[in-house]
Amino acid sequence: MEQNEPTIRLDQFMKLVGLAKSGGEAKHLIQGGEVLVNGAVETHRSKKLHPGDRVTLRGRTAVVELSERACRGA
């Protein structure tokens, strides 16, 4: 993993891709042990995701695809 590789927080990613309607919902789902990251339960909403990571909730999976430009808000 590169040091300058773009990342996104798990809770932010869930909102972005529609796995959660709000940050509060994402927090509840993550802390409740309902979210898998790369096949393992993840209970930390601030978990940093990297390109290629897979987030699964209730049978729906989203793959992280980030660019440095997107992370800078450009």
Q: How far is the C-alpha of 64 from the C-alpha of 8, rounded, in Å?
A: 9
Contact 41, 63 (CB under 8 A): no
Mean model confidence pLDDT for the chain = 90
Is pLDDT at 74 greater than 90 in this prediction?
no
| CA–CA–CA angle 14, 16, 19 (5° rounding) | 40
| CB atoms closer than 10 angstroms to residue 19 | 21
Give the chain's domains with CATH numbers: 8-71 (3.10.290.10)
The pLDDT tens digits for 12-41 are 999 999 999 999 999 999 999 999 999 999
pLDDT of 3: 64
